[in-house]
Amino acid sequence: MPNATIWVDEHPVDPAWPPPPGEEEPRSNRIRGWLSIGLPVLVGIVVLAVVAAFGGFRQRSDQVVEVPAGSMIETGPFQLRFERATIQQVTDWGEEKPTQNVIVFGTGVNTWTQSLAPDQDQFAASGKSGSEVKEPEGAHLSTWLDGPRSLAPELPPQSIEVEFVFSGDFDPGEEIRFMASDLTYGDRSYLGVGSDETWYNEGDRFLMHLPLERLPDEDKNS
């Protein structure tokens, strides 16, 4: 009988190789396969269930309520009135292109138990038919540079300014569309077990058309 040479491959077996014919795939490989497919699917189902449980797929019931300029609106802890606005073309330091700067003037009363600064996230403005919608650059008391920055409770109406910056070719005409959202107080943590209770935007949005006064252009480079 001739001598036979046995060759042994010293490289490790690749787990991706299929089992030899007639041999069943190891159970551990089958379990890993099911986990690689089933676990992501299970996680996705759990995430969808949590989102649904906390109202993530509920249709919003808030609406836009149009009110006359100067009307008193209640937005969470604030009673607000906005009556007018100004617009001015401004070329800032070191800039060549001007912007159109809009300031909305109003008053506010804090009906809550703690001092609060105006919440700029609840405001927005736009031109005709909702063109070029902008969020404010700031919303503050008129005295914020050298006086109080928050509205204290039980004070008479305090002056508030809301500032917007639009593109240089923005031309809203004789009025600006100004919007203020209602505020709701509650816990915004994902599972509702946190301690971050605060005022946040949720509820109706109040839309008003404010008369707009054009101020002389200002070039800060001159």
Domain range annotation of the chain: 64-219
* Per-residue model confidence as pLDDT tens digits over 152-164: 998 999 999 999 9
Name the one residue in this structure whose structure tokens are 């046995």.
6
Q: Which CATH number fits domain 64-219: 1.10.3470, 3.40.50, 3.30.70, 2.60.40?
A: 2.60.40
Of 16-20, 21-25, 95-99, the range with the highest mean pLDDT is 95-99
Residue 77 CA: distances (Å) to CA of 118, 192, 201: 10, 22, 12
Token digits of residue 131: 């063109």
Beta carbons within 10 angstroms of residue 158's beta carbon:
19
Q: 149 or 138: whose pLDDT is higher? A: 138
Share of the chain above pLDDT 70, in %: 67
**165, 209 in Cβ contact below 8 A?**
no
Q: How high is the pLDDT of residue 60?
A: 47
* Per-residue model confidence as pLDDT tens digits over 51-103: 444 444 444 456 889 999 999 999 999 999 999 999 999 999 888 899 999 99
**83, 103 in Cβ contact below 8 A?**
no
Instruction: Indicate the burial class of 160 (C-beta count within 10 angstroms; 0-12, 13-18, 19 or more).
Output: buried
